[in-house]
Each structure stands twice: as C-alpha cells, then as structure tokens.
Amino acid sequence: MRTTRALLAASAAAALMLAACTTDEPSDTAAPDETATEDAGAGGEEEETADGEFFVRADFDRQLAQRDIEPEGDPATPWLQAIEPEYVDTAEFAQDGNTLCFSNASVSNPWRVTGWITMQQQVEVLQQQGLIGEFRVSDAADDDNKQISDIQAFIDAGDCNAIIISPSTTATLTPAVEAACASGVPVIVFDRGVNTDCMVTFIHPIGGYAYGADAAEFLVENLEPGSTVLALRILPGVDVLENRWAAAQEIFGDSELEVLGDEFTGGDGAEIKNIVTQYLQRGEVDGIWMDAGDGAVAAIEAFEDTGNDYPVMAGEDELSFMRKWQETGMTAVAPVYSNFQWRTPILAATMIWAGEQVPSEWVLPQDPITEDDRDDFLDRNADMPALHYAKFGGEDLPGFPTAWQDR
C-alpha cells in the first residue's frame, strides 16, 4: 500500500489531537543481504516503532503535521518566519553590549560553507548598522572535544554578550551548552539540537523527520510495489540526520518497497560511487534515498557508468544535483533543510539584546523543491557554483552574488 503525504498528514494530525487529550558505525559495503534493514519495506505487518534516542513518535507526528501549517511572518523573509511559535520574554538580556560569539561545528561540507557565507554577510550588514560589534568565531572542525573547549573559552573570556552554538553532535555537546547557559549569557542554538532547553531559542527548520519523510514519500509514490531502494547516509550520531533515517524507516515500513541496505558514506563522492556500484553489480537498484545531498551526482554517475537506468532519487537542493536532475530528466525531488537558517541566529541575537520576544523553539519553513519549481530555482542561481544551495536566502544581502561565488 502506497503511503501519501496527505494520509500521513492526516494521521499525524490525529495523533497530535490524541496526545492533547491524554496526557552504527559505517559498514564495509557488505552484500545487500548483510545490510538489509529488517524492519523496513516488503509491506509486512509492522508494530509501532518504540521511542528511542533518535525517534520520538510525538516529534515525528508533529513535524509531519507542521509541513502543512502556514508559517507566521512575511514569506519574502522566510528566515524570520516561524511555525506555531511560543514566544519568550528576553527583557532580562536587554543590554548595550554587542560582542557576538559563535561556536561552529565546522564548515566541512558545502551546505555548511554556503550557510557560513550567508551568516557573515548578515553580520556585516548589522555591523554597519551598529547593532553588532565584534563577531568572534571558533570552528571545531567536527571535533566534539575542540568544540567543548571552544565554548568554555567563550565562557571564561567573560565578554561575550551572546553565544551562538551549532553543535557538532547532540549528546556530547549538551553539557557544554548547559555550561554556557549557566554563565548567564543568552545562548542561541541552531541547526543541530542538544538534549536541553536551557537556551533562549533553538532555531531550526521543521526538522529531520520532515526531511526524511519528504524523501521517502516521494520514492513510495514514484516506484512500483516491490521496487528496491538503497539508503545513503553521511554519519551516525547527529540528531537531525538520525531523525531523517528514522522517518524514512517509518515510511518505507508502511510500503511495499524493499530496502536493500543503509550505508554510511562520510559524504565522500568516491565512496558513494563505490557503494552504489557494488550494489548495482549484485542486482537492480530502483531508488536512492539520501539523508543529505552531498555526493548525489556521484551516485547518479554510478548508474551511468554501469549502463543502468536512472533511479528515482531524493537528493537535496545543492545545485550540482539539481542541474544533473534537469539535464537527465530523471524522476527526482530535492528535500530541503533550509540553508537560510544561518541568518536567523544573528538576527535573533540583536532582537534579544533589544529585549524583544523570540520563539523559544523557532521553527522555520522547510519546503522541498519539486520538478514544478526546479527550473525557477536554477534560473535564479544560474551564476552560482555547483556546490551552492538553492534555498540559501541571501539574494538581498549586499555581497550577492560575489561572496558566494568566491568560495
């Protein structure tokens, strides 16, 4: 039975109403039968998935429902919109100080590079307006221990008027975020989450469940029953990525698709191509699900090099994938983890210093790019490099387009 978005949204809404009334390590590209996901696909009877570290059904249901909720705010500035916001008073943090400190997980992939450029451009605008003074940045290079040390250094310095944190991983960074909160400085977390709500605001698009569901639903709706799917994942232990796969497992488990396996790739194009090629040598692969679009073109090239038909594919709004999609005419969708979110924490800091209310959980819109609007986004980004992201949201910033071209 094919699972459609409408049915899932209705199911999610019903689950939310009911709730209101009641209170791995990367594999070595083993053979598909060694990596097959036992609880997904094949259309068997499935028990409801129990909550775990990276799957909470209430959150899953809420995110799927939020996809159909109209955000508050001006659609022309989606980085300031919010879905079902609950505002918090920030008067205690009102101040004249304007030193902004940012602990970044890394700029180790094109999505983060694109966002980091956008953030810097937003900072420059606010510095020219006198709303931000020094912008102090640390980059942890995806090293949890370094990021913990970076955050502690900001705390010890004692002169940060706000601390923005994009955590490298979830559980390990939680104590460091809590320490920053305990210092009395307003803390803003964005992109990836942590296991605390001590921050003034947590900024993110709808979330990983929505992303993973958008991708999985597209495959279910565009593949015949009995078709095979290969899932390509970046790395374990990051909440938003784990949520994407957890959502996909829910969708695939309710379908008649066969999941051949899920493989960690590190986002490396050569590894992606090698993994896909090995699966194709063993049999047909009808669909590709990815938890992020890094290396999506490498996956497509594996089909080309082996003479196989293009798969039905869920990539991302990275331009290299979107251009390949347009060029080949393949059946595809570009799920989006809204890159424009990199503007929001900067603007949030200035709002907090002004004592303005901000959402405690600032949920930004997150709409996938479909074939209907693909060409429009490609036209708008025609002069951007291949590793740029279509929904970066920086077209109105003074550095556009040069800042994003000269990366």
* DSSP per-residue letters across 168-194: SSSTTTHHHHHHHHHTTS-EEEESS--
Tell me how far apart the alpha carbons of residues 190 and 344 are, in angstroms, rounded to a whole number: 9
Under 8 Å CB-to-CB from 209, ≥6 apart: which residues?
59, 60, 63, 64, 243, 244, 246, 247
CATH dotted code for 71-206+338-367: 3.40.50.2300
Tell me how far apart the alpha carbons of residues 283 and 229 are, in angstroms, rounded to a whole number: 11
pLDDT value, residue 3? 38
pLDDT value, residue 53? 85
Measured between its terminal Cα atoms, the distance across the chain in Å is: 46
What 3-state class would DSSP assign to 35? helix
Tell me how far apart the alpha carbons of residues 188 and 151 are, in angstroms, rounded to a whole number: 12
pLDDT value, residue 26? 32
Confirm whether 71-206+338-367 and 208-333 share one CATH topology. Answer: yes
pLDDT value, residue 317? 98
Tell me how far apart the alpha carbons of residues 130 and 397 are, in angstroms, rounded to a whole number: 17
Under 8 Å CB-to-CB from 255, ≥6 apart: which residues?
1, 2, 3, 41, 43, 220, 225
- pTM comes to 0.86
Encode the chain (407 residues) as per-residue pLDDT tens digits: 333 444 444 443 333 333 333 223 333 333 333 333 334 444 444 567 888 888 999 999 999 999 999 999 999 999 999 999 999 999 999 999 999 999 999 999 899 999 999 999 999 999 999 999 999 999 999 999 999 999 999 999 999 999 999 999 989 999 999 999 999 999 999 999 999 999 999 999 999 999 999 999 999 999 999 999 999 999 898 888 999 999 999 999 999 999 999 999 998 999 999 999 999 999 999 999 999 998 999 999 999 999 999 999 999 999 999 999 999 999 999 999 999 999 999 999 999 999 999 999 999 999 999 999 999 999 999 999 999 999 999 999 999 999 999 98
Beta strands at 162-166 and 258-264: parallel, antiparallel or unpaired:
unpaired
CA distances from 361 to 240, 308, 324, 345 (A): 15, 45, 36, 12
Phi (first) and psi of residue 214, to 5 degrees: -55, -45
CA distances from 241 to 17, 158, 293, 337 (A): 27, 33, 12, 11
What 3-state class would DSSP assign to 348? helix
Would you list the domain boundaries of the chain? 71-206+338-367, 208-333
Tell me how far apart the alpha carbons of residues 95 and 52 are, in angstroms, rounded to a whole number: 41
pLDDT value, residue 7? 42
Q: Give the CATH fold of the 208-333 domain.
A: Rossmann fold (3.40.50)
* Of 296, 304, 361, 369, nearest in space to 339 by CA: 369
What 3-state class would DSSP assign to 286? coil
Length of the chain in terms of residues written: 407
* Of 370, 364, 400, 363, nearest in space to 383 by CA: 400
pLDDT value, residue 47? 66
